[in-house]
Amino acid sequence: MSFALQPVADPAAPLARRNPVAKFAAALLFALPLVTTLDPLTPALALAVELTVLPLFGVRYAVLARRAWPLLLAAASVLVTLVLFAADRSGRLLVDLGPFAITSGVLVTALGLVLRLFAIALPGVIVFATTDPTDLADALVQNAKAPARFAVGALAAFRLLPLLGAEWQMLTLARRARGVDTGIRGFPAIAFALLVGALRRGTRLAVAMDARGFDSAVPRTYARRQVFSKGDWLLIVGAVVLTAAVLATTVLTGQFRPITA
């Protein structure tokens, strides 16, 4: 689970140097309009744009493939679910499996959702692959004016995330050493023990942070200043322009299908 916690991009890349809040805002503005359409063309164009600008963030395609492998599992599950259980079976019949008849309409719908899944998730993967979590927390407090308690608490939780995988493995080995089932039937017990451990660690962490003054009303100082420059504004404006271009292309080609249709 540590693959998402540390930046792996070239820090000297043009867009990797941008302010974390600017990168987060640009990713959100670019991905958000994708949830308003049902056609496969809009996410396909957005995905092409994202893969084109990927080298500007200093992320190699091989690294992206290693980080985004959970998306492949999610896409496969969406595809199988729609193909087998879609209510709308319109279009040309491709494969006749009785109640699970596969039609062209089902495949188009499944393709649109799979592409949309990748197009929406990929900007977030790029942002976290090129941003140090500490820099993101500092930028949220300094530039986005987020509450320091929220930003520092989220950073602490983010840093503790790899411990969940280690504790899961430790609990599994401990139950196996006692001869207790660690398969499907043992999953609820292990998950409950993991939840209890996480709650106890969170309580201890909250007390420790309060003891160090994280909940005081005294203004905080910053060890690292996060500057929001003109280049960061240009990144946000560029994301808006690219989003408008993608939507305009879809509308002009007559493929635009709003989600309310």
User: Could you report the per-residue pLDDT of 191-242, keeping only the tens digit for each?
Assistant: 898 899 888 988 888 888 778 777 666 777 777 888 899 999 999 999 999 9
Q: Is the pLDDT of residue 1 over 70?
A: no
Residue-range domain boundaries for the chain:
2-137+227-252, 145-211
Which pLDDT band, with edges at 50, 70 and 90, does 161 fall under? confident
Query: Using CA atoms, how far apart are residues 4 and 106, in angstroms rounded to an integer?
Result: 33
Which pLDDT band, with edges at 50, 70 and 90, does 68 fall under? confident
Q: Is the pLDDT of residue 55 over 60?
A: yes
- The values of phi and psi at residue 145, to 5°, are 55, 35
Q: Do the beta carbons of residue 222 and residue 13 sit within 8 Å?
A: no
Cα distance between the two ends of the chain: 39
- The values of phi and psi at residue 89, to 5°, are -110, 30
Query: Using CA atoms, how far apart are residues 93 and 29, in angstroms rounded to an integer?
Result: 38
pLDDT at 52: 93
Q: Is the pLDDT of residue 4 over 70?
A: no
**Is the dihedral angle over the CA atoms 250, 255, 258, 259 positive or is it negative?**
negative
More confident residue, 192 or 255: 192
More confident residue, 52 or 224: 52
pLDDT at 134: 87
Q: Do the beta carbons of residue 254 and residue 47 sit within 8 Å?
A: no
pLDDT (average), residues 53-77 = 83
pLDDT (average), residues 42-65 = 89
Query: Using CA atoms, how far apart are residues 261 and 258, in angstroms rounded to an integer?
Result: 6
pLDDT at 169: 86
| Helices vs strands, H then E, count in the chain | 9, 2
Q: Is the pLDDT of residue 5 over 60?
A: no
How many other C-beta atoms lie within 10 A of the C-beta of residue 168? 16
pLDDT (average), residues 150-172 = 82
CA dihedral 238, 7, 152, 235 (to 10 degrees): -10
Q: Is the pLDDT of residue 164 over 90?
A: no
On average, the pLDDT of the chain sits at 83
Tens of pLDDT, residues 83-142 = 777 666 676 777 766 666 777 777 777 888 888 888 998 998 888 888 888 888 889 889
pLDDT at 49: 93
pLDDT at 172: 87
Query: Using CA atoms, how far apart are residues 165 and 94, in angstroms rounded to an integer?
Result: 43
Percent of the chain whose pLDDT exceeds 70: 90
